[in-house]
Structure 1
């Protein structure tokens, strides 16, 4: 069981949370520790960066999508095989309400190391820290790291104020001239598989952490995980599959890379076998699969190549015509539509399962948690069932092409923002919502039964 666990939080987004978290993880690995990474919030990208520096799968812990019990169960199970658990927070410490970094820290009973961006202020940083200390008496702030310090005098002014007015221990100072670049694009940082942190930057980052953070003090202030008895065996523990293994084809490559890794583990525990394929590079679909699963990602960046792979697009259409169940989320849903218009205005043919066109914009179109209530029986449940997920995309859906379709298109989802979504046609189901299954393991039971019956997901 891990001997130290802590969350890296920040006063606001852009304070250096991801960069310093990666540096702390890398420095601890370099010292010989087995570091288990986690990410607070619905992010797909940061966990892949964690994996590049720790060599371990980084898991999402999201109180809104997963619930407190599922988060506890996953956290403590993974802590059993690690020396140190490091969690990266989301946004500012208290941003996100019931799903904030602070809320997760209290649920897991672990301390927060708070990053304060000291740029453009001096003594006021003490006032800011004091406010964070007093805001929630139930939260443990184990230490503070001041980032982007401009000079020794700048540090001295902050240090004097903090020591006079605050109780939190200072565990690090990072100078402003320590610049580390991680490539970004419209959905955030580049994925870990794209190696956005160059080797030289990584070494300089490790060295900066070693020189300017007091890692021994941080480990001393951190605590071993304390698992409440009431959390054992609750939601999030996957149903155990006693039946023979059933194969699921999962699209995974540069275009389709947004998956919650625990969802795969839940599927495997339910008796499914994951078979990966690439809509970008492969010419044929895997044989013997009971379902095709297209996750989110960046189809808009690879639209020309996806369109040019006519053999794969034809194979998907042929399997659909034969009644094979197909499920797509966000980018995967875009690929399952008729056409995709990229940001340059270029139109690309997709698989034409759904008779829709998606058009990329330059501004964010939808962002937020989504609670889904099923309005119809479908591949993922019965009418009235609730599912939990997140929506984040720059594209718009033109559903005006759906008139007089055969088979008819059914709208299955009612979202908590009073919109309707989740489209079912024949054996296919597609949506912009990324679902996490940990809080609703019955989804996998229903999915298994549906596939065993070999029934299409659309309602007659």
Structure 2
């Protein structure tokens, strides 16, 4: 049983300004001297980057589709207790409060913000975009507050308020409806976070600019919200009856401490913290390699993980780093385990938008005009360094690029009546994003393959 102050910030719909309000709230509370644990409902990688920048500790995802309902509270507590115990946890919702997975395998509202709030026993603060409404805000909030008796709306934050008069009208309408207003934030177009083809530009790519934006958001939200009232809502959450997730309990230990390189830097910013934690728990030494800057893989690399990101934005620089591309190709040619997803697939391909990549896969990839987005329930089409044939996983796709062909002679996954991805030797490459916390056996299998590879290398020295 853990008594942890916590709250979930949700909205009636997407584009209400949740990320700006949440990031600013985390920054404002951190500036007060509180340790804040940041979380994000759903599979999105970008928002947690801004949360982490504001909190000074990793932002973590909470997605029942990817990891299972039973792991949400344990994973939440893992984030709240590591690297140090937090004073308060702030969770950003996804889409509208009750919008969940559009998949036939689950019912309405699965993996929604409301679903996660129920699993955490957390009060909800509703962020309302008030730019185009006045008295109607009361009807809107009343509907959301009464729709599901299991969801407790602890207050409202009014966003994009136009003037003192506008704020007074909104507050009066909500007071008459018996709803607590926790604060109001005016329109600040200069704080707009730039976007591109897959949403916000990741914080890691904006560096100094992102830091300045987060700092300013903290000032604006700190001025506009009653932080004491917000903390009172968070402290009203009941004790959470769950045991923190522990990666060492999820994996089997391997011998030899194999060194596994994980791609990072501005081109590869998408990754779940739990994946690296599981590899480390299995006994691997996890090191980072930046394909934009490092000219070689770390000495003694036994395996490589290349996750998601935006290689299409950095294609010229990635292509220009020929020495690392050659090193990656040589590693794969020697049969070392290589796990790549989405951006990783693009990097391993023969080319990306006509520019040479690693050439591990005989695949051409390029930007397309079509967004591929959604949850997937997949089955391993054959054995690989990640999974035995027939293994079932839940993941998601999120990309505007296309690969030709879409699958190799030995595909990675099968779903929706077709196949996708590539397996060859020790390589597993696919567009499917996975949180290994939902299938920890993948981490054990990959770490084991790396340990075997490392031992073979030592034996032949």
For normalisation by structure 1, the TM-score amounts to 0.90
Residue in structure 2 matched with residue 447 of structure 1 by the alignment: 446
Cα deviation, residue 287, structure 1: 2.3
Q: Secondary structure at the match of 1:434?
A: coil
Paired residues of 1:190 and 1:196 also in contact (CA < 8 A): no
Change in 2 beyond 3 A, CA 1:176/1:305: closer
Cα deviation, residue 171, structure 1: 0.9
Change in 2 beyond 3 A, CA 1:91/1:196: farther
1:357 equivalenced with 2:364 (yes/no): yes
Could you list the per-position Cα deviations for residues 110-145 of structure 1 after superposition, in whole angstroms to 9, with x for gaps in the alignment? 011100111111111111111101211111111111
Unaligned runs of 5+ in 1: 342-346, 403-408, 456-460
Provide the C-alpha distance between the structure 1 equivalents of 2:12 and 2:38, rounded to a whole number of angstroms.
21
Residue in structure 1 matched with residue 289 of structure 2 by the alignment: 277
Provide the C-alpha distance between the structure 1 equivalents of 2:424 and 2:202, rounded to a whole number of angstroms.
32
Paired residues of 1:374 and 1:413 also in contact (CA < 8 A): yes
Cα deviation, residue 191, structure 1: 1.9
1:226 equivalenced with 2:239 (yes/no): yes
Paired residues of 2:406 and 2:420 also in contact (CA < 8 A): no
Of 172, 182, 187, the residue aligned with 2:198 is: 187
1:375 equivalenced with 2:381 (yes/no): yes
Aligned pairs, number: 440
Q: In the TM superposition, what are the counterparts of 1:335-350 in structure 2 within 5 Å? A: 335-341=347-353, 347-350=354-357
Paired residues of 1:69 and 1:236 also in contact (CA < 8 A): no
Cα deviation, residue 186, structure 1: 1.4
Could you list the per-position Cα deviations for residues 362-387 of structure 1 after superposition, in whole angstroms to 9, with x for gaps in the alignment? 441x1011222112111111122112
Of 382, 395, 417, the residue aligned with 1:389 is: 395
Q: In the TM superposition, what are the counterparts of 1:32-43 in structure 2 within 5 Å? A: 32-43=33-44
For normalisation by structure 2, the TM-score amounts to 0.89
Residue in structure 2 matched with residue 105 of structure 1 by the alignment: 117
1:14 equivalenced with 2:26 (yes/no): no
Could you list the per-position Cα deviations for residues 286-337 of structure 1 after superposition, in whole angstroms to 9, with x for gaps in the alignment? 2222211111111111111211222222222222222222111101101111
Residue in structure 1 matched with residue 413 of structure 2 by the alignment: 413
Paired residues of 2:382 and 2:388 also in contact (CA < 8 A): yes
Could you list the per-position Cα deviations for residues 80-105 of structure 1 after superposition, in whole angstroms to 9, with x for gaps in the alignment? 40101111111111112211111100
Q: Secondary structure at the match of 1:18?
A: helix
Cα deviation, residue 228, structure 1: 1.9
Residue in structure 2 matched with residue 88 of structure 1 by the alignment: 92
Cα deviation, residue 242, structure 1: 6.2
Provide the C-alpha distance between the structure 1 equivalents of 2:134 and 2:220, rounded to a whole number of angstroms.
22
Residue in structure 2 matched with residue 59 of structure 1 by the alignment: 60
Change in 2 beyond 3 A, CA 1:103/1:449: same
Change in 2 beyond 3 A, CA 1:217/1:237: farther
1:168 equivalenced with 2:175 (yes/no): no
Paired residues of 2:160 and 2:188 also in contact (CA < 8 A): yes
Paired residues of 2:77 and 2:245 also in contact (CA < 8 A): no
Cα deviation, residue 275, structure 1: 1.6
Provide the C-alpha distance between the structure 2 equivalents of 1:453 and 1:200, rounded to a whole number of angstroms.
46
Paired residues of 1:2 and 1:79 also in contact (CA < 8 A): no
Residue in structure 2 matched with residue 318 of structure 1 by the alignment: 330
Q: Secondary structure at the match of 2:150?
A: coil
Change in 2 beyond 3 A, CA 1:316/1:200: closer
Could you list the per-position Cα deviations for residues 341-368 of structure 1 after superposition, in whole angstroms to 9, with x for gaps in the alignment? 1xxxxx101111111101102441x101
Q: Secondary structure at the match of 2:7?
A: strand
Change in 2 beyond 3 A, CA 1:246/1:26: same
Paired residues of 2:260 and 2:450 also in contact (CA < 8 A): no
Could you list the per-position Cα deviations for residues 408-454 of structure 1 after superposition, in whole angstroms to 9, with x for gaps in the alignment? x3013112x33311311222110001111112112222223333444
1:78 equivalenced with 2:79 (yes/no): yes
Change in 2 beyond 3 A, CA 1:105/1:400: closer
Provide the C-alpha distance between the structure 1 equivalents of 2:249 and 2:398, rounded to a whole number of angstroms.
27
1:286 equivalenced with 2:298 (yes/no): yes
Paired residues of 2:375 and 2:397 also in contact (CA < 8 A): yes
Q: Which moved more, 1:442-451 or 1:103-112?
A: 442-451
Residue in structure 2 matched with residue 44 of structure 1 by the alignment: 45
